[in-house]
Amino acid sequence: MISIKELEMKKIKDLEAQYPFILSFFENNKLNVEGFKDSTLIEYLNHFTEEEIEDWAIDIPKIKSDLETYINQMLQFLGLEKDLVDSITILAGRDKYGNRENFDELTIRKSEIVSIVGPTGSGKSRLLADIEWAANRDTPTGRAILINGEKPDYSIRFSTGNKLVAQLSQNMNFIMDLTVKEFLELHAKSRMVENEEEVVSKIVDAANELAGEKFNLDTPVTGLSGGQSRALMIADTAILSTSPIVLIDEIENAGIDRKRALNLLVNEEKIVLMATHDPSLALMADKRIVIRNGGIYKVIETGPKEKEALKELEKMDKIISNLRTRLRSGDTIDTDLALI
């Protein structure tokens, strides 16, 4: 929340740069700030004479209160509030047979990665859905989700402008007739970022680090491959989206650099949960949730021995990646795999 105390000491020109929508507030309240751009807000409000205050019915305490409310409401509507979520907590529900899940509660904090594993159809996507909708004992599992240790406010839970969750599904297809640049500029404008060109460039550079084949700003979004689309959306979510929680469904099928993708999201202080069948991804996580019969069966911390096993898996992945690159390049494989 932005307080009026923070606003009072800022210059009018700085307030306009930080909150462009503030101009509408001044206009609607018939406050002419021309000639006062280098004055602080409190200096501007205090410049009115007693006669002007009486003649124009200026209520300075009300202006301050209304401005504080207006800015905070606009920030929430636009999804520009910061540090909204430090942690989420999953409270136990039941499996599809009505049995209580085998844990009490699980708290996940910013910059943590949690993998969700289990057979196909076991209920991984259901858990992601419960988190996305901040379940309150009102889904088939009976789970509850807390935000920062508390039951989410109704307005936050069902907000369309300030979504808690960004979900990256297995299939991401664009239908808009836009270039990558136009698509990212639209998103940047909607977030009112100050350094729009720099942010757009940063997203494309990050996406090209993840994608198997690079693309540029003039590439039509409808012409992106599945892997390129996924890379673009992961980079966009990490850098520009304000959603603090990222849910990923089977990133192993995306055709991207999975480890870099996860590191990018974590470096931007996102809470990351991913449903996966890939053992490497499962062990990259700080902990993993094991799903069985629609319920959470176990919560396992990734231990030192598993981290050692991950190193061996990464060596195998590197071999497979090199083979894939060679085959795509038209090479023939005439080397003993053990020597690669």
CA 23 from centre of chain: 29
Question: Residues 64-78: pLDDT tens digits?
Answer: 999 988 887 777 666
DSSP track, 232-275: HHHHHHHHT---SEEEEE-GGGS-B-HHHHHHHHHHTT-EEEEE
Mean per-residue pLDDT, 148-176: 70
Q: Do residues 219 and 179 touch, judged by C-beta distance below 8 A?
A: yes
- The domain limits of the chain are 4-78, 87-302
Bridge partner list, 166: 246
Report d(CA 130, CA 126) in Å as an integer.
6
Residues contacting 36, CB < 8 A, separation 6+: 12, 43, 44, 47
Residues composing the chain: 340
Topology of domain 87-302, CATH = Rossmann fold (3.40.50)
Report d(CA 115, CA 111) in Å as an integer.
13
Question: Residues 217-247: pLDDT tens digits?
Answer: 999 988 888 888 888 988 988 888 877 888 8
Question: Residues 246-302: pLDDT tens digits?
Answer: 888 766 655 677 778 888 888 777 888 988 888 988 998 999 999 999 999 999 999
pTM of the model: 0.67
